Amino acid sequence: MFMASRIQTRAFSASARNLSKVTVLGAAGGIGQPLSLLLKLNPRVSELALYDIRGAPGVAADVSHVNTKSTVKGYEASPAGLASALKGAEIVLIPAGVPRKPGMTRDDLFNTNASIVRDLAKACAESCPEANILVISNPVNSTVPICAEIFKARGVYNPKRLFGVTTLDVVRASRFVSELKDTNPVDEKITVVGGHSGVTIVPLFSQSSHPELSSNADLVKRVQFGGDEVVQAKDGAGSATLSMAMAGARMAESLLRASQGEKGVVEPTFVDSPLYKDQGIDFFSSKVELGPNGVEQILPVGKIDAVEEKLLEACFSDLKKNIEKGKAFVAANP
**Annotated catalytic residue, options 118, 161, 196, 320:** 196
34 contributes a contact to ligand LMR by CB under 6 A: no
Segment interacting with ligand NAD, rule: CB under 6 A, options 152-160, 178-186, 240-248, 297-305: 240-248
User: Closest approach of Cβ 143 to ligand NAD, in Å?
Assistant: 8
Q: Are 68 and 41 in contact (CB under 8 A)?
A: yes
List the one residue from 22, 94, 148, 240 that touches ligand LMR (CB under 6 A): 240
- Rounded to an integer, what distance in angstroms lies between the CA atom of residue 202 and that of residue 206? 11
223 contributes a contact to ligand LMR by CB under 6 A: no
198 contributes a contact to ligand LMR by CB under 6 A: no
Please identify, using beta-carbon distances, which residue of 72 and 251 lies nearer to ligand LMR.
Answer: 251
List the one residue from 74, 81, 95, 203 that touches ligand NAD (CB under 6 A): 95
Task: Annotate the chain with three-state secondary structure.
Answer: CHHHHHHHHHHHHHHHHCCCEEEEECCCCCCHHHHHHHHHCCCCCCEEEEECCCCHHHHHHHHCCCCCCCEEEEECCCHHHHHHHHCCCCEEEECCCCCCCCCCCHHHHHHHHHHHHHHHHHHHHHHCCCCEEEECCCCHHHHHHHHHHHHHHCCCCCHHHEEECCHHHHHHHHHHHHHHHCCCHHHCCCEEEECCCHHHEEEEHHHCCCHHHHHCHHHHHHHHCHHHHHHHHHCCCCCCCHHHHHHHHHHHHHHHHHHCCCCCEEEEEEEECCCCHHHCCCEEEEEEEEECCEEEEECCCCCCCHHHHHHHHHHHHHHHHHHHHHHHHHHHCC
Choose the contact partner of 52 out of ligand LMR, ligand NAD, none; CB within 5 to 8 A by kind.
Answer: ligand NAD
Q: How far is CA 328 from CA 54, 142, 143, 209, in A?
A: 30, 10, 12, 41
54 contributes a contact to ligand NAD by CB under 6 A: yes
Residue 196 annotated in active site: yes
Q: Kindly identify the residues of this chain, within the stretch 71-110, that bind ligand LMR according to CB under 6 A.
A: 99-100, 106
List the one residue from 240, 251, 252, 258 that touches ligand NAD (CB under 6 A): 240
Choose the contact partner of 40 out of ligand LMR, ligand NAD, none; CB within 5 to 8 A by kind.
Answer: none
List the one residue from 20, 22, 29, 48 that touches ligand NAD (CB under 6 A): 29
List the one residue from 23, 137, 138, 286 that touches ligand LMR (CB under 6 A): 138
Annotated binding site for substrate: 100, 106, 138, 172
Interface residue list for ligand NAD (CB under 6 A): 25-26, 28-32, 51-54, 95-100, 109, 113, 116, 120, 136-138, 140, 165, 168, 196, 238-241, 244
Annotated binding site for NAD(+): 26-32, 52, 113, 136-138, 244
Interface residue list for ligand LMR (CB under 6 A): 99-100, 106, 138, 168, 227, 230-231, 239-240
Give catalytic residue positions.
196
Annotated binding site: 26-32, 52, 100, 106, 113, 136-138, 172, 244
